[in-house]
Structure formats: C-alpha cells, structure tokens
Amino acid sequence: MLGEDSIEPVDLSAAKSGYRLIKGLGSKDLWNDNADITDIILFRYAELLLIYAEAKSELGSITQEDLDISINKLRDRVGMPHLILDEANANPDPYQESMYRNIETGPNKGVILEIRRERRVELVNEGHRWWDLMRWKEGKKVEHPMVGIYYPHLGAYDFSGDGEPDVYVYDGDDSGAPTTVTSKINIQTRPLRDPITGEIGGTSGNIIHELDGKFKEPRDYYYPIPIEALELNDKLEQNPGW
C-alpha cells in the first residue's frame, strides 16, 4: 500500500471478496469520507494501445510490429514476456477458449484471445469489463458467481504475514477463533465454492462474493426504449424482448 511498510490486515467488511483494492488508492492518511485527491482518469494511454491492438486483430491485419507498439509496450513496464503473434495463433490458450465461446474461428483467434486477456488484466476495476462482454457477445458470463480468496480448510489464517492469525473460517461455531482475528467467515452464511466442480457448500473453496446474476440473450444486449419515447414517435419500435 502506498506509503506503508506493513501489510493491511484482511477486513471483510471493507472487501467482501477478501481482496483489497489498491489500484489508484492514495496514502492512508488521506482516507476519509471528505477527501478526494485523486484525479479522475478519462482516457488512459494503455486503453488506447489495447483498442488499437484489438481493432487490428479483429480486422485481420495485425502484425508483430503492431503488437510491439501496443501490447508489448504494456508488458515491458512490468517485465512480462512479449506477446508473439505466430505463437499465439498457433497455440490458442484452451482456458481462454473456454472463457470466450462466441469468438470467431480464424487465423487470428489466438492473438484475439490474448488481447482480451490483456484488457481484463490491464483495465481491471476501471469500468470497462461490462462493455467488453457486451461487445464480444459474452453476456452469459454475468451468470457466473463472483468469488474471492480460496480457503483450503476451516480454521485460522495469517494473511498479513506477521505471525498472528487475522482470518478465521468456521462452520457455525467461532469459539475457537484466536483473539488476533480481524475477520471471520461463517460458511453457513458465506459458503465456499469448489473451483473445479463448481459445487457450493463444502469446507474448502473460494468465498462467494456475489451469487449468480441473470442474463437473457439476446434481449439484454440492448436497453429498452423508454415508453415515453415510443409514445412520442410512433415510428420507433421496442428493442427485441422488451
């Protein structure tokens, strides 16, 4: 965390998933309800590079040089290996393929999948994910549960690394929780989800942040036209499904 030497203890009241967001977060002395010292970002250079790479790949005209002046500039900042066009297209990541089933098959399928991964990583929590899913016709993803930290067993955990437990996962009875615990998880009210089987209710798994959403295709790719607008203009037709 900016300006801090110690790790902040887990606080599930502040971050229900167990993951604390530090992207764009100021130093701790500025945390209060009446302070706003971070300039709002209207358009990031990184987003421009991602848009360029995606457009070129979808048009079928992307080259390695295009990747080197876009995606690979982002990767260079953090020492990540470069995205190589021929390698990505020759061996599309099967995990990415399982995530994006509506992608068109073609010579650039592999690199398109990698660019989508790059958008997901680079633009996290910047308000782009919903619009990406709508553009890619992947709205059904909102029906997947949002999950947080993985807990392999019941009991106490030391996430801050100071030698003292700060999280206690229990099944109805928290009497065994150490006094240093700052957050407790009762799996009767906050169940865990097995990341392999998807089953909910065991004693290990990812904590569920939000349950499944609902998305109706193709209706939910469109907004309903307001009734007032339809009444004002009889040439308008309501969007499909609304």
Averaged pLDDT of the chain: 89
DSSP letter for each residue of 50-107: HHHHHHHHHHT---HHHHHTTHHHHHHHTTPPPP-HHHHHHS--HHHHHH-TTSPPST
pLDDT score at 28: 72
pLDDT score at 14: 75
**221 vs 97: CA distance, rounded Å:** 21
pLDDT score at 229: 96
> pLDDT tens digits, residue range 114-171?
999 999 999 998 999 999 999 999 999 988 888 888 999 999 999 888 899 999 999 9
> pLDDT tens digits, residue range 168-190?
999 999 999 999 998 899 999 88
Per-residue confidence band for 3, with pLDDT thresholds at 50, 70 and 90: low
Task: Report DSSP state, residue 5.
Answer: S
Q: Is the dihedral of CA 222, 227, 233, 234 positive or negative?
A: positive
**242 vs 236: CA distance, rounded Å:** 13
pLDDT score at 133: 95
Residue 24 has pLDDT above 90, yes or no: no
